[in-house]
Amino acid sequence: MMKFKPNQTRTYDGEGFKRRAACLCFRNETEDEVLLVSSSRHPDQWIVPGGGMEPNEEPCGAAAREVYEEAGVKGKLGRLLGIFEHNQDRKHRTYVYTLIVTEMLEDWEDSVNIGRKRKWFKVDEAIRVLQNHKPVHAEYLRRLSDTCSPTNGNAPSSQVMGNNAPHYVVCSTKGSDLINR
């Protein structure tokens, strides 16, 4: 069953990229277990929860909303891991945040409406699971090792709310190139 949102408005940035947001949802601050959800298009495949930003929505707000809808979780929004560009079939620019899960709903929007499932994975296992179906999602997790962990005292500030200026590190999925914006 495919997910259908009748009032969904796709938003694009000035360069024609679809604006998206996602969260790597972790069980705790050690960031060694990540929550994945079943794909709406391919229910036997796992994905990182995320989706399109609504008009006038900040990336951090969109990320929190999407994980609530798709994974049925709430939590503490953490650092911006990166902005990932995906250019193969559709031009997407996805803001990916970390989130420490503090609450898991028993039933949530996508579990009721489309039968979406969720499951905890060790990070290395999640990378393997994502590699074939959604390699860009595997790249989000690989990027974890390139950023400061929140427990070492060097974590980037999570105060990214309201800052839409494209000056973050952009991760291109055409390779491992990091482009400063």
Please report the DSSP string for 65-93 in residue order: HHHHHHH-EEEEEEEEEEEEEE-SSS-EE
For residue 131 the two structure tokens come to 């590699």
* N-terminal to C-terminal alpha carbon distance within the chain: 38
69 is catalytic: yes
For tokens 């997910």, the residue is: 3
pLDDT of residue 104: 96
* In-domain check, residue 163: no
Residue 155 has pLDDT above 90, yes or no: no
CATH of the domain at 92: 3.90.79.10
Note down the domain range covering 54: 18-147
Total domain count, the chain? 1
Question: For residues 2 and 114, what is the distance between their CA atoms, to the nearest angstrom?
Answer: 7
pLDDT-derived band at 142 (thresholds 50, 70, 90) equals: very high
* In-domain check, residue 73: yes
Residue-wise pLDDT for 29-88, tens only, equals 999 999 999 999 899 999 999 999 999 999 999 999 999 999 999 999 999 999 998 766
Q: Which one of 69, 70, 125, 139 is the catalytic residue?
A: 69
* In-domain check, residue 173: no
Give the pLDDT mean for 80-109.
Answer: 90
